[in-house]
Structure 1
Amino acid sequence: MRTAIITGASRGLGRAFALGLAQDGFALMLAARDSAALEDTAAAARAAGAPDVFTHAADLSQPGTAEAVVAATLAATGRVDALVNNAGATKRGDFLTLSDADFLDGFALKFHATVRFCRAAWAPLEAAKGAIVNISGVGAMTPEPDFAIGGSVNSALINFTKAIAKRSQGTGMRINTLCPGHIVTDRLARRIETLAAERGITLDAAREELRQAHGIPRYGNPEEVADVVRFLCSPAAAYVHGTVITVDGGATPGI
């Protein structure tokens, strides 16, 4: 029974990843802070076809949490076949108003937690010839003045993922980075609300202004990102390793 660990699985993209991998028959370990939301995702994943679903509610930014989640997964299923590092949101704002604590918090959850989970799950993943998918974001390639923390974290994740992919060359493991663009989640809704408040315009107007600014025909759906995660965790991606895949509707113009 293939088993996947998904961090940040309580809502948004993480929830979509859980439901997608459930449809592919994975047993799941879902980790995030919000225990009630985790249980809701777990129930949906069971209904979607997951043979077993386990949850671990904890602050993933804290040392020791990754080891505890991996240990619980091995105790429950005896293996780890896929690791999807999705946890982490970073604070937006003017660089001059962001504090050291804001930067440290951003790196603690999205970057350091990813490093710790990769380290903790390395041995069972190597044994299973499994897959790691680290979720970065298009901010890694397109710096924005109000996203100095998130862009820096996402860029660091790409570098880190390529480094460990090179380390695992020849082991049968597959390690890749996925960069979602502007996807319909709670996070996007908050950005639209902030823009509407700043501009003194309606939510619909703010939604359209943001869409046009990014040059995309529409916003993406979580399931469209989940489909790529499902591919990367499947045998169909056996020759996909050490790469960066962008799912952003064409918003990133750079090479």
Structure 2
Amino acid sequence: MAAKPRRIAIVTGASRGLGRAIALALAEDGCALVLAARDAKALAEVAAEADKRGAAGSLVLSTDLSLPGSPSAVIDQAIKSFGRIDILINNAGDTQRGDFLDLEDDLHLSGFALKYHATVRMCRAAWTYLEESGGCIVNIAGIGAQTPDAQFSIGGPVNSALINFSKAVSKRSGAPRVNVVCPGNIETDRLSRRIETYADQNGLSREDASRQMRDNLDIDAYGKPEDVASMVRYLCSPDASYITGANFIVDGGATQGI
């Protein structure tokens, strides 16, 4: 029996947190990985761990995806190295929290540049290759898209736009499967910073701040990066072959809307 061709997966924002967990999950499925982020050292560490877990090779690309030419350069390098693309995970992005009146134009522009515009450019550059392979795209947004928050007036609109874009392009004739995953409060560096800020603002210990934030969210526990990676892994698998244009919330029940 002929061996199945290896799948080639691109993961952006792969150096830590959700991107790292997603890359390692796909490595366990035997994918070859193209790992893109700014931190070359951290990416190299993820690549080494991915190889231990079964990745069919890894390509590390240190790049700033907010720059207009970077997404197409990543796709070009992926094709040059592996000849095809089967999976595209757009995970890069970090938007500034804070009061609306304190958030100047540059923070709004940079938030959209890295999370929204980079995703659009990555999809555009990879599109024909994913059509050829019958591949899939998973865009990582966030629950701020569903639940507006006064402290998240950049990230919420960015995530909402990302969902709208994903649903729109999924309807193109012959499109690869395109889905969105919206993580909630996941134990990453970003959540740690939020807990520390909350503790400082309210004169609490970190442990008490973490517990109070969790109680305010009405959830039993914060999520793990692996919880999100499991959903992404499923959406990239043949078991999800009839799922496209969908949005999946992974938040432990924090989102109360329908």
TM-score of the alignment, normalized to the shorter chain, above 0.5 = yes
> Is 2:200 the partner of 1:202?
no
> Is it true that 1:69 corresponds to 2:68 in the alignment?
no
Question: Are 1:34 and 2:39 counterparts?
Answer: yes
2:29 to 18, 21, 24: 24
| Residue 13 of structure 1: aligned partner | 18
Amino acid at match of 2:116: F
Secondary structure, aligned partner of 1:148: coil
Structure 2 CA distance, aligned partners of 1:26 and 1:148?
A: 36
8 Å Cα contact 2:39/2:62 also seen in 1? yes
Which residue of 2 is the match for residue 142 of structure 1? 147
Decide which of 69, 93, 106 is 2:111's aligned counterpart.
106
CA contact (8 A) 2:169 2:175 kept: no
Task: Provide, for residues 87-137 of structure 1, a one-character-per-residue CA deviation record: whole Å limited to 9, x for no partner.
Answer: 000000000110000100100000000000000000100000100000000
> Does 2:254 align with 1:254?
no
Gaps of 5+ in 2: 1-5
Deviation of the 1:172 alpha carbon: 6.0
Residue type of the alignment partner of 1:253: Q
Structure 1 Cα separation of the partners of residues 216 and 158 of structure 2: 23
Query: Match for residue 130 of structure 1?
Result: 135
1:81 aligns to 2:63 (yes or no): no
Residue by residue over 1:173-219, the C-alpha shift from the partner in whole angstroms, topping out at 9 and shown as x without a partner, is 21001000010111100000110111111000110111011111100
Q: Distance in 1 between matches of 2:225 and 2:14?
A: 12
TM-score under structure 2 length normalisation: 0.97
Q: Which amino acid aligns with 2:152?
A: F
Partner of 1:186: 189
Out of 223, 226, 235, the position equivalent to 2:226 is 223
- Taking only aligned residues, the RMSD between alpha carbons, in angstroms, comes to 0.7
Instruction: Specify every segment of 5 or more residues in structure 1 that has no aligned partner in the other structure, as ranges.
Output: none
1:233–1:147 distance in 2 versus 1, CA, 3 Å = same
Question: How far apart, CA to CA, are the structure 2 residues paired with 1:154 and 1:3?
Answer: 26
Give, in whole Å, the separation in 1 of the partners of 2:236 and 2:132.
15
CA distance in 2, matches of 1:172, 1:240: 12
The DSSP-based 3-state class of the residue aligned with 1:133 is strand
Query: Under a length normalisation based on structure 1, what TM-score does the superposition of the two structures give?
Result: 0.98
**Aligned counterpart, 1:165:** 170
State the partner residue of 2:62.
Answer: 57
| Residue identity opposite 1:233 in structure 2 | C
Q: State the partner residue of 1:94.
A: 99
1:52-87, Cα deviation, whole Å (9 max, x unpaired): 000100111001101110011011110000000000
- Give the equivalent residue in structure 2 for 1:151: 156
Q: Deviation string for 1:146-189 (max 9, x for gaps)?
A: 0000001000000000010011x4x2621001000010111100
CA distance, structure 1, for counterparts of residue 138 and residue 151 of structure 2: 26
Aligned structure 1 segments of 4 or more residues deviating by more than 3 angstroms: none
Distance 1:227 1:34 in 2: 24
